[in-house]
């Protein structure tokens, strides 16, 4: 997993326009560099969403519950290609047909590791059967569980420190889809250790 810290990510402005590249590691050092990312939520036929608890070795927000899968497209890589690559690497799943349900910019600081998330996040939904095989990588995923997204919003308000700070925003976009966004989505600033129910995001990716 640590080798991914040297992978390249695409730097963007707050409208999503690319203007360069840097490494995963450099992008997440304070004060952070805004870069393109994605968050995937796998949804079963009953509307339940698959959550993963991030592995302890993650460099950002370890052992927090998060959405099904997160990551960064490499420069020139499509979102669908990148997301299915990470679904395969993290969960042993896919390929999955994905639909973008929203996008937003968020910033969050990890008080435990000192790293930051400053990301232009594309929220992707994919339909998935609970009976489909999953082979989670223990270096990526500590646990998996299915959850009702509406109940999850309430739980995020009650116990934000158990969840990755971007998860509220991801669930918000799932429940209130806006489709692909042009122009600048609103900037959400998430203080260390908190969760904001209008925007949050994918980390350790």
d(CA 130, CA 186): 34
From 10, 69, 70, 140, the catalytic residue = 70
Average pLDDT of span 120-144:
94
Residues 6+ apart with CB under 8 A from 154: none
Known binder of ligand: residue 119?
yes
Average pLDDT of span 100-112:
91
Q: Is 70 a catalytic residue?
A: yes
Tokens representing 53?
């608890």
pLDDT surpassing 60 at residue 195: no
Percent residues over pLDDT 70 in the chain: 86
- Pick from 56-70, 136-150, 190-204: least confident: 190-204
Average pLDDT of span 153-161:
94
Average pLDDT of span 194-198:
36
Q: pLDDT for 52-76, tens place per residue? A: 999 999 888 999 999 999 999 999 9
The pLDDT-based confidence of 179 (bands split at 50, 70, 90) is low
**Is 196 within a domain?**
no
Average pLDDT of span 26-37:
95
The pLDDT-based confidence of 4 (bands split at 50, 70, 90) is confident
From 10, 100, 109, 119, the catalytic residue = 119
**Is 137 within a domain?**
yes
**Is 17 within a domain?**
yes
39: left (phi > 0), else alpha (psi -120 to 50), else beta?
beta
pLDDT surpassing 80 at residue 25: yes
The pLDDT-based confidence of 131 (bands split at 50, 70, 90) is confident
**Is 133 within a domain?**
yes
d(CA 180, CA 201): 16
**Domains identified in the chain, total number:** 1
pLDDT surpassing 50 at residue 198: no
**Is 153 within a domain?**
yes
pLDDT surpassing 50 at residue 200: no
Closest Cα partner for 49 from 151, 134, 119? 151
CATH assignment at residue 64: 3.90.79.10
User: Across the chain, what does the average pLDDT equal?
Assistant: 86
**Is 199 within a domain?**
no
**Is 3 within a domain?**
no
Known binder of ligand: residue 89?
no
Query: In terms of residue numbers, what domain contains 105?
Result: 8-175
Known binder of ligand: residue 117?
yes
Tokens representing 104?
């937003």
pLDDT surpassing 60 at residue 186: no
């Amino acid at each position: 997993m640590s080798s991914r810290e040297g992978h390249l990510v695409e730097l963007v402005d707050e409208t999503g326009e690319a203007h360069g590249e840097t490494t995963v590691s450099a992008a997440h050092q304070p004060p952070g560099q805004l870069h393109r990312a994605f968050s995937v939520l796998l949804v079963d036929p009953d509307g339940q969403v698959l959550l993963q608890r991030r592995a302890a070795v993650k460099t950002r927000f370890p052992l927090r519950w998060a959405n099904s899968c997160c990551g960064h497209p490499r420069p020139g890589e499509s979102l669908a290609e990148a997301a299915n690559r990470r679904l395969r690497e993290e969960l042993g799943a896919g390929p999955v047909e994905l639909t973008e349900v929203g996008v937003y910019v968020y910033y969050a600081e990890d008080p435990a590791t000192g790293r930051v998330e400053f990301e232009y996040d594309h929220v992707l939904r994919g339909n998935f059967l609970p009976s489909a095989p999953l082979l989670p990588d223990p270096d990526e995923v500590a646990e998996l569980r299915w959850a009702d997204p509406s109940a999850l919003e309430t739980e995020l308000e009650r116990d934000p420190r158990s969840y990755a700070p971007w998860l509220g925003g991801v669930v918000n976009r799932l429940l209130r889809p806006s489709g692909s966004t042009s122009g600048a989505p609103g900037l959400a600033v998430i203080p260390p250790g908190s969760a904001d129910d209008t925007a949050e995001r994918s980390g350790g990716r």
